[in-house]
Amino acid sequence: MVQIPKQQSVPPSRPPAPAGPAASARGTVPTSADVARLAGVSRATVSYVLNNTSAVRISEPTRRRVHEAAKELGYVPHAAARSLRAGHTRIVLMPTPDVPVGPLYSGFLNALQWALSRLDYTVVQYGSVGLGGEEAARAWAELRPVAVLAPAGMGAGGVDLLRRSGARAVITLGPEPVEGAHALIMDHREVGRAAGAHLLERGHSRIGVVMPREPGLGTFALPRLAGVQETGADVVPLPLAYEEEDAARVAAHLRDLGLRAVFAYNDEYAMLLMRALQDAGATIPGDVAVIGADDLMLGRLLRPRLSTVRIDLPSGEELAGLVDGLVRDPAARPDVRDMLGAAVVVRDST
C-alpha cells in the first residue's frame, strides 16, 4: 500500500481535490505532480522512473512506489510533452508490409517490437497502401519518428526527407542499399541458391520453381527464382495460386513438363503442392522431390517430412540494439549489414 505523505492543510473553503479513482470520475487528468505526492518523491524522480532513465540511479523500492502510484492514479506520461522536452519522439516507425508475410517474418517482427518496447521506444506500424517513395516518406514524416525501418522501394529522396523531418536513423530492409540510409540486406537469391544446389546434388538438373500468384510476393519469389537459375540448373517457373484447385492443376502437369524436382517457394506452398501430388497418386520423393523454405514446424509433422531452407534472421534484441545505437549516434556513417542466412535442412521429401 502506498502511503500519502503529510501535506499542508487547505482552508475549508477550498477542499483538496480527490486523487485516484474519484478524480478520474470527475474527469480530472492526473499529473506527474499527483504521482509524486502519492509516492512521496519529487517530480524529477517520477520522470526518471517512468521514462526509464538510466543515467540516474533509483532504488528498487522507490521505483515500485512510483509505479504503484501511477497505476493507482491512472497516470501515463504525456508522449508529446516528453518529445518537446527531448527534441524528438521515441517512435520507431515500421510501415505495415504491403505483401503477405508468413509465420517466420511475423514472429521476427513481433520479437523486434517487443525488444524495442523494452528499450522505451513506442513502435508504430503505419499503413501505406497506395503510397510509395517520397509520397510514403512524407506521410511517415508527419509522425516525427526518431527511427524508421523502411521497406524495399524507399529511395534516396525519401531517406533525405525523413532525415530532415527529425528521424535520427533510417534503416532500409531490402536487396540493395539506399543512399543515405543504413541498410539491412535481405537477398533472397541465397534462399534459391541453397535449394537449387541441394536438388542438383540429388541428381535433378531440371527444377520447377513455384512462383506464387498472390500480389506482392514477387518481391521474394523473383530473387529466389534467380538464385536457382544461378546454380546452372534448367529452371521451369510454375505459377501457383494458394488454392487446392490450382495445386492440383500444377501437380497434374509436372510429368508433362519433365519435372521430378520442385523448389516450392516456401513451406506453405510446398505442403499445398505435396498434398496435391499425393492425391494424384505420386510418391515423394520417388516421383517428385519437393523442398520448401522457412523451416516451419508443420513441415516436420508431414509424412514424408519436408526438406526446407532454414532462413536465419537476427534476433529481435540484436536489431533493437542496432536501432538504439543509431538513434544515440545519428551522425554515424551509413552501414550495410547482411541479415539473411540460408541453409538446407535435409529431410525425407528430397
176-234 pLDDT, tens digit each: 888 888 888 888 999 999 999 999 999 999 999 999 998 878 888 999 999 999 999 99
| b/e burial code for range 101-132 (CB count within 10 A of at least 16 → b) | ebebbeebbebbbebbeeeebebbebebeebe
What does the pLDDT read at residue 223?
Answer: 94
Please state, rounded to an integer, the average pLDDT across all residues of the chain. 84
Q: Which comes out higher in pLDDT, residue 107 or 146?
A: 146
Spatial distance between the Cα atoms of 160 and 349, rounded to a whole number of angstroms: 48
The pLDDT of residue 113 is above 70: yes
Between 294 and 118, whose confidence is greater? 294
Q: What is the pLDDT of residue 175?
A: 79
Grouping H, G, I as helix, E, B as strand and the rest as coil, residue 290 is strand
Mean pLDDT of 100-125: 80
What pLDDT digit, counting tens, does each position of 28-84 carry? 788 888 999 999 999 888 888 887 666 678 899 999 999 999 889 888 776 555 555
**Taking Cα atoms as reference points, which of 197, 340, 208, 348 lies closest to residue 264?**
208
Give the mean model confidence (pLDDT) for residues 4-27.
Answer: 45
- Confidence at residue 277, expressed as pLDDT on a 0 to 100 scale: 97
pLDDT reading at 4 higher than 60: no
Q: Where residue 248 falls among pLDDT bands split at 50, 70, 90?
A: very high
CA atoms lying within 13 Å on the CB side of residue 318: 8
The sheet carrying 206-212 orders its strands as 234-240, 206-212, 261-263, 289-291
Each residue of 293-318: b (16+ CB within 10 Å) or e? bbbbeebeebebebbbbebebbebee
The answer to pTM > 0.85 is no
Q: Which of 239 and 87 is assigned the larger pLDDT?
A: 239
> Does the structure show a pLDDT above 50 at 15?
no
Residue 26 has pLDDT above 90, yes or no: no
Mean pLDDT for 140-158 is 83
Residue 132 phi, psi dihedral angles, 5° rounding: -160, 165
**pLDDT above 70 covers what percent of the chain?**
83
> Which of 105-109, 123-127, 164-168 has the highest mean predicted lDDT (pLDDT)?
164-168
pLDDT for residue 300 is more than 60 = yes
With the CA atoms of 289, 291, 295 and 300 taken in that order, what torsion angle do they form, in degrees rounded to the nearest 10? -10
Alpha carbon of residue 156 to chain centroid: 22
The sign one gets for the Cα dihedral 284, 288, 291, 296 is negative
Amino acid at 249: R
What pLDDT is attached to residue 2? 38
Taken in order 103, 107, 113, 116, the sign of the CA dihedral is negative
Predicted confidence at residue 206, as pLDDT, reads 97
Evaluate the omega torsion of the peptide bond into residue 239 and state whether it is cis, within 30 degrees of 0. no
In this structure, is the dihedral angle defined by the CA atoms of residues 183, 227, 264 and 310, taken in order, positive or negative?
negative
Residue 335 has what DSSP assignment? Answer: -
Q: What is the pLDDT of residue 191?
A: 96
- Look at residue 78 in the predicted model and tell me its pLDDT: 62
Structure-block grid coordinates of residue 284: 515423394
Q: Which of 171-185, 227-241, 251-265, 307-321 shows the lowest mean pLDDT across its residues?
A: 171-185
Per-residue pLDDT band for 27 (boundaries 50, 70, 90) equals low
Instruction: Calculate mean pLDDT across residues 134-145.
Output: 82
Say what the pLDDT of residue 201 is. 97
Q: Which of 93-107, 117-131, 293-307 has the lowest mean pLDDT?
A: 93-107
3-state secondary structure of 184: strand
* CA 281 vs CA 107, 197, 252, 276, 290: distances in Å: 35, 27, 10, 9, 15
Check: CB of residue 340 under 8 Å from CB of residue 312: yes
Residue length, the chain?
350
Q: Is the pLDDT of residue 85 over 60?
A: no
For residue 64, give the C-alpha cell.
Answer: 515500485
Residue 261 grid cell: 524436382
